[in-house]
Chain A
Amino acid sequence: MSILINEDTTFIVQGITGREAVNLTRECLDYGAGAKVVGGVTPGRLGREVHGVPVFDTVKQAVDHHGGPIDGSVVTVPPAFTKDAVFEAIENGIKLIVIVTERIPRRDVAQMVELASLRGARIIGPNCLGIIVPDVIKMGGIGGPAKDAAKAYTSGPIGVISRSGGMTTEMSSTLTAAGLGQSTAVSIGGDAIIGSSYAELMPLFEADEQTEGIVIYTEPGGRMEAELAKWVKENNSRLPIVAFMAGRFMDEMPGMSFGHAGTIVEGKEDTAAEKIARLAEAGITVAEEISQIPEIMKSKLGAPANA
């Protein structure tokens, strides 16, 4: 199985007529079994088509055309309009929203995440590349064109969660080369506030029979790693976790932002050193190099439970 999406998942692309969105739509249609992209939305462009996908002015029109609830939306509209687009998706019954857009003000993100939580919807991102279930479906630009995605991702027992979109592919490719496929890989986004953190996705992987281990990519900044460590300790997780921490050099440079908007050392808890210590306390191994991840994971998978 997989988490979040499967071959039956239907979704729309908001902002579908933008250059990147047109490419992303093509990639999703081409990958695996072919995603069910049931519509696109760009206000004022009703009646057009993007790679055969009908374009609507409103999400409501797309839902009416589909004739029933739509599972998800990939949101690619510019930052000033993203909040409205996400509200529109949520209020039209969409339960899984992947926000690709970068540079959305935090207040808007906080409001989107709060509304999603009130309505029982889930947000992935912002500033992310989406979700991929290897050989089956991808929702978002993750992995790129279908032939490139197929090179990096293969089906298997590892769940991947990453704050960096590109590194989701780098780490999955490393796992693939070592014979460890992925159940689902999720690019969760690099902003200070995101819809779904490591700890919020863990219960889904925990409940997924295919998943036997988790690999995460992490960076300085924020409290997400501390929350993951806490979750692992409190829930006696069956899943071994191997982490990779990038941006260790930033510990010497407080107040400077590198890589992603949420990647900044503002307090002691933000540092790579502190996070590595917290993860280790929870039994999460932090690999020194990405190439070491498969061997560490294999030894953890081979070990008896709770060892």
Chain B
Amino acid sequence: MLFSDMGGIDIEEVAETHPDHVGRRHFSNLLPISDFAAKECIASVGVTGSRLNRLTPILTRLARLFVERDMTLAEINPLCELEDGTFVALDAHMDMENEARPRQKALLHELGVGHEETRQAREATEFELAGEAVDAQDHRGVAGNVTEFDGDLGLVIGAGGGSLTLFDAVRKYGGKPANYCEIGGNPSVEKACGLAKLVLSKPGVDKIAVMMSIVSNTRVDIVARGVIKACLELNMDPAEKISIFRIPGAWEEEGFKILDHYGVRYADRTTSMHEAAKLAVEAS
């Protein structure tokens, strides 16, 4: 928990410019939240007297709210003192984490927060919503987390860390990604196909690069089947539309056989993720 007697401005800024005006204290998540922790936190910046005694329960209750309602942030700023010595919250900011939504349904309903209001910084685009629909079509693995960008190079990439690495790598070599996405956890052929079709159909996208870090759970052959199926269903030639397929790992022999059959250029683990990204940029 944090307390500052310099309200009204961003707490990060106060912490940088006036560290002695920010009290910090850890509190237990196992024990019931007790007043003394808040009292210590507030007193540490020099607040005493009746102010301390009036402020303590406010911070305690805010901490309880934070824990019980699965918040990632619960902030009252500014908190104002009236002439009679009482305090009023003039503004507050609360964030609930997505993972806890299922068990906070009643509160969300009461506040009128709908399912579509995520914590992302901007509203989902049509392309991104279509990506969600692809991922939701069955429960096997992930082929989604699609984010739209305005470039022309289509990406079918994975997994979590692999996607972050590959997206950076494409940009490092001058490529302009049309999208970000993640495949992982061994998705079905249908899901891999759906994702590839979505990216291939995006206006301005000519080719896709299919790349992942070494897979151990996701099967290479299943992703290969999915992306080839996507090309064929769109009446496109996989050899022409897939600029590079770089997914080494589990079932790679079977996967590479399928890719060979359709003449798709692929690479194994001896081609680094950055080299694969470079090849993708050069081919686009």
The answer to whether B30 touches A111 (Cβ under 8 A) is yes
| Size class of the B contact interface (CB-based, 8 Å) | 35 or more
The answer to whether B163 touches A258 (Cβ under 8 A) is yes
Evaluate whether A246 and B99 lie within 8 angstroms (CB atoms) in the complex, with A111-B29, A267-B12, A289-B272 already known: no
* Whole-angstrom distance between the Cβ of A189 and the nearest chain B Cβ: 11
The answer to whether B99 touches A106 (Cβ under 8 A) is yes
The answer to whether B216 touches A291 (Cβ under 8 A) is no
Evaluate whether A291 and B275 lie within 8 angstroms (CB atoms) in the complex, with A166-B214, A249-B168 already known: yes
The answer to whether A166 touches B168 (Cβ under 8 A) is no
Q: Does B249 touch A at the CB level, under 8 Å? A: yes
Stretch of B40-48, B75-83, B107-115, B154-162 on the interface side: B154-162
Stretch of A46-54, A142-150, A199-207 on the interface side: A142-150
Residues of chain B contacted by A163 (CB below 8 angstroms): 161
Residues of chain A contacted by B119 (CB below 8 angstroms): 255, 257
The answer to whether B184 touches A258 (Cβ under 8 A) is no
Distance A291 CA – B267 CA, assembled complex (angstroms): 15
User: Which B residue's beta carbon lies closest to that of A217?
Assistant: B161
Interface readout for A51-94 with B: 1 if CB under 8 Å, 0 if not? 00000000000000000000000000001100000000000000
Stretch of A10-18, A35-43, A168-176, A232-240 on the interface side: A168-176
Of the candidates B120, B216, B272, the one whose C-beta lies within 8 Å of that of A144 is B216
For residues 17 through 50 of chain A, which have their beta carbon under 8 Å from a beta carbon of chain B?
Answer: 20
* Whole-angstrom distance between the Cβ of A238 and the nearest chain B Cβ: 28
The answer to whether A190 touches B161 (Cβ under 8 A) is yes
The answer to whether B272 touches A247 (Cβ under 8 A) is no
* Whole-angstrom distance between the Cβ of A271 and the nearest chain B Cβ: 13
Distance A148 CA – B251 CA, assembled complex (angstroms): 9
| Size class of the A contact interface (CB-based, 8 Å) | 35 or more
Q: Does B283 touch A at the CB level, under 8 Å? A: no
The answer to whether B29 touches A114 (Cβ under 8 A) is yes
Distance A255 CA – B118 CA, assembled complex (angstroms): 11
Residues of chain B contacted by A258 (CB below 8 angstroms): 145, 147, 163-164, 180
User: Which B residue's beta carbon lies closest to that of A110?
Assistant: B29
The answer to whether A166 touches B162 (Cβ under 8 A) is yes
The answer to whether B272 touches A174 (Cβ under 8 A) is yes
User: Which A residue's beta carbon lies closest to that of B274?
Assistant: A289
* Whole-angstrom distance between the Cβ of B89 and the nearest chain A Cβ: 22
* Whole-angstrom distance between the Cβ of B92 and the nearest chain A Cβ: 17
The answer to whether B161 touches A246 (Cβ under 8 A) is yes
The answer to whether A290 touches B214 (Cβ under 8 A) is no
The answer to whether B120 touches A148 (Cβ under 8 A) is no
The answer to whether A166 touches B160 (Cβ under 8 A) is yes
Evaluate whether A105 and B214 lie within 8 angstroms (CB atoms) in the complex, with A145-B250, A260-B160 already known: no
The answer to whether B165 touches A290 (Cβ under 8 A) is yes
Residues of chain B contacted by A145 (CB below 8 angstroms): 216, 250
Distance A94 CA – B29 CA, assembled complex (angstroms): 21
The answer to whether A164 touches B161 (Cβ under 8 A) is yes
- In the complex, number of A-B residue pairs with CB atoms less than 8 Å apart: 144
The answer to whether B160 touches A107 (Cβ under 8 A) is no
Q: Does B235 touch A at the CB level, under 8 Å? A: no
Q: Does B3 touch A at the CB level, under 8 Å? A: no
The answer to whether A268 touches B12 (Cβ under 8 A) is yes
* Whole-angstrom distance between the Cβ of B131 and the nearest chain A Cβ: 13
Evaluate whether A141 and B274 lie within 8 angstroms (CB atoms) in the complex, with A167-B161, A247-B168 already known: no
The answer to whether A166 touches B213 (Cβ under 8 A) is yes
Distance A173 CA – B212 CA, assembled complex (angstroms): 14
The answer to whether B272 touches A290 (Cβ under 8 A) is yes
Residues of chain B contacted by A177 (CB below 8 angstroms): 269-270
The answer to whether B164 touches A263 (Cβ under 8 A) is yes
Interface readout for B136-157 with A: 1 if CB under 8 Å, 0 if not? 0000000001010000000000
Residues of chain A contacted by B160 (CB below 8 angstroms): 164-166, 190, 259-260, 263
Distance A166 CA – B157 CA, assembled complex (angstroms): 13
* Whole-angstrom distance between the Cβ of A181 and the nearest chain B Cβ: 16
Residues of chain A contacted by B12 (CB below 8 angstroms): 267-268
Residues of chain B contacted by A115 (CB below 8 angstroms): 30
* Whole-angstrom distance between the Cβ of B222 and the nearest chain A Cβ: 14
Q: Does B171 touch A at the CB level, under 8 Å? A: yes
Distance A256 CA – B161 CA, assembled complex (angstroms): 15
The answer to whether B121 touches A219 (Cβ under 8 A) is no
Distance A46 CA – B28 CA, assembled complex (angstroms): 36
Q: Does B53 touch A at the CB level, under 8 Å? A: no
Residues of chain A contacted by B212 (CB below 8 angstroms): 166
Distance A247 CA – B7 CA, assembled complex (angstroms): 33
Highest count of chain A CB atoms <10 Å: which of B97, B161, B163: B161
- B-to-A contact residues, CB < 8 Å: 12, 28-30, 67, 70, 72, 97, 99-100, 102-103, 119-122, 145, 147, 158-165, 167-169, 171-172, 180, 182, 184, 212-217, 249-250, 269-270, 272-275
Pairs A-B, 6 closest by C-beta atoms: A144-B216, A164-B161, A255-B121, A247-B164, A167-B161, A246-B164
In the complex, 9 of the A-B residue pairs with CB atoms within 8 angstroms, ordered by the A residue number, are A103-B99, A144-B249, A162-B161, A177-B270, A217-B161, A249-B171, A255-B120, A258-B145, A289-B169
